Structure 1
Amino acid sequence: MKELIEKLGREPGSHKGENGKVLVIGGSEKYTGAPALSAEAALRAGADLVKILTSEEAKPIVQSFSENLIAESYGSKFDEESLEKAQELEEWADVTVVGPGFLSFEPSALQEFAKGAGKLIVDAEAIEHLIDTENNFFTPHSGEAEIMAEKSGSLKMYSFETGNTVLMKGEKDRIFHGKQIEEIGSGCAGMTVGGTGDVLTGVLAALKAQGLSDGDAAVLASYVNGEAGEKAFEEFGNGLLATDIVEMIPKVLME
């Protein structure tokens, strides 16, 4: 993994925004923490700038989690009227995460947004509605992965036919990239706590935004998330929180 981490080196004379800009679309009144975890993980994984697009109700709560977060609103529900704002921010970003804590949206509006978007990292509730898109990332758990596999007979064929890179979360993460399959064994049982998947999407977004290839970004994101989880578990045991994993990300990348 050292060679992949070394690819993340930045130019001494670079300016704000030149080392990765990430947009996170998600959150709801019920799940305000999910997009914040993704955003904070992206910052800790080296992205220069991260913006969150969330519901009007969730925005002040999301913003309050950290002074490092920039939150904007798409209104009470992500619908056709939200598209102009979403497209404007998507054009600003290098990579867009869609799904963490995302409950209040019209599937047709989300699909319309995806048609004109660049690289997406699709998670959680957004997966089933964007499953037919191409050349993106998906981060399903085993149940969501089964639905995806049904499209083509297997996740391997799904990835090959769509060009989507699939990072299936589990005891050992499995990555399907074209006809290649990678298995990453870092991580621990303490990572069953809520929010670790949101952290993973943020790490993946940051690594891709910093210029790694799709396959390399997926492999390194899985490794970094797992190693950060192990470090957090060593310190906090079964009391670890997803936020503890976020704080360990720079330590893994600096080793």
Structure 2
Amino acid sequence: MSLSKRFVNLQNLNYYLLPLSHSKIIGNWLSSNFHQNSAYSSKMSKFIEVPIQAEKLLKLTRSTVIPKLNATGSSGKQRHKGQAGRIGVIGGSLEYTGAPYFSAISAMRVGADLAHVFCQRDAAVVIKSYSPELIVHPLLDAEDAIEQIAPWLERLHVLIIGPGLGRDPKIQKTVISLIEHCKHINKPLIIDADGLFILNENIDLLNDLSNVILTPNAMEFRRLFSDDVDVMKQRMARLGAGVIVLEKGPQDKIYIPSTSEIYTLPAGGSGRRCGGQGDLLCGSIATFFHWALESNQSNAAFVATFAASYLVKQCNAAGFEKWGRSMVASDMLNEIHIVFRNVFEETN
């Protein structure tokens, strides 16, 4: 895609993100960013927080991102198994088996066709017992883990790194090598949980990567970027130009380090913050991410992150309405179908 065409697409997306009062300012930032064609500009004095027009962005997602079921491709043939998404999850240890399951199964519930989990051997049988839909590879702690996992990565559209990973130094070393491999094959990445812990001391791993989404909660965000705005900017300056950051909270925020913009997403959900919600979010982002890339969205990571954030908060609200304080992540998972249909497939 040419630079001029890409800029036109971003100006079009601008209509969905911003109220009119911001459009001229953001247009100037975008123009500056493209002409510089560089990552973070250290001259910016602060991050600029920008609201979005959620309904317009939801309309964009419905109309151009989500693939139609049984749609035909350019060859005139119906889509086949795998085209709607082949998602991989790097994670799963003896102590943490639920997180990779929730990430993988939520990707499928949103609409991906296949989900692979690459876990430690002790976790494999447990994860597999949760669902026959998942393809589980007990390879993460193998001596030749990289050699065995690498051929599978070529087949996957998006890779999630971190759910249930644990902090074993040997596993962390393997994951660092996997990220380096993903850099060579331009694999879109979502990094969460203990994947973010690895980045605390290895943030330069993200240099030269594109299509990367980090999903820290408030505590993980502080560990990775600090509370101090100046330190935060310095840390974010070390991210590649193709990296965005979703800070999870009552109102999720998307940071665009290359332009010093923060987009505040709609509030939602409930006061019930059950474990596993972040894993559902990762899986949901992965499927939307593949769809956004496949539909040639120039801001694929942004669109996918917004859509998944909105979906999961609505699932939390729907689950809480039924179960209240006793709601768990499995209850939210069961809400994906109806919420997805209401939000993304039914229009007024």
1:169 maps to which residue? Answer: 248
2:190 is matched with 121
1:177-225 Cα shifts (integer Å, max 9, x gaps): 34332222122111x1111111110001111122350110111111111
Q: Single out whichever of 58-67 and 10-19 deviates more from structure 2.
A: 10-19
Cα separation, 1, equivalents of 2:234 and 2:329? 30
Unmatched 5+ stretches in structure 1: none
Contact 1:47 1:210 (8 Å CA) reproduced: no
CA distance in 1, matches of 2:99, 2:238: 30
**Root mean square deviation, CA, Å:** 2.1
What is residue 236 of structure 2 aligned with on the other side? 158
CA shift, 1:161, in A, is: 4.5
Farther-moved stretch of structure 1 (202-211 vs 129-138): 129-138
Q: Which residue number corresponds to residue 332 of structure 2?
A: 245
Q: Match of 1:9, as an amino acid?
A: P
**TM-superposed deviation, 1:106:** 3.2
**Paired positions, count:** 252
- Indicate the SS of the match to 1:22: strand
Cα distance, 1:157 vs structure 2: 7.1
Give the match for residue 87 of structure 2. Answer: 22
1:36 aligns with 2:101: yes
Contact 1:187 1:230 in 2 (8 A): yes
CA distance in 1, matches of 2:218, 2:254: 12
State the 1:253 CA deviation: 1.8
**Partners in 1 of 2:288 and 2:93 — Cα distance?**
26
The ranges of structure 1 where at least 4 consecutive aligned residues each deviate by more than 6 angstroms after the TM superposition are none
Indicate conservation of the 8 Å contact 1:74/1:82, yes or no: yes
Show the counterpart of 2:157: 94
| TM-score of the superposed pair, with normalisation by structure 1 | 0.91
The correspondence for 1:225, drawn from 312, 315, 319, is: 312
- Whole-angstrom CA distance in 1 between matches of 2:328 and 2:302: 28
Highest CA radius of gyration, 1 or 2?
Answer: 2
Equivalent residues in 2 for 1:120-199, closer than 5 Å: 120-130=189-199, 131-132=203-204, 133=206, 134-135=209-210, 136-150=212-226, 153-154=231-232, 158=236, 161-163=239-241, 164-177=243-256, 178-179=258-259, 180-184=261-265, 185-190=267-272, 192-199=273-280
Deviates more, 1:112-121 or 1:179-188: 179-188
TM-score for the superposition, normalised by structure 2: 0.68
Identity of aligned residues (%): 29
Say whether residues 1:201 and 2:259 are aligned partners. no
Q: Distance in 2 between matches of 1:232 and 1:2?
A: 24
The answer (yes or no) to whether the contact 1:156–1:181 under 8 Å persists in 2 is: no
Residue identity opposite 2:218 in structure 1: S
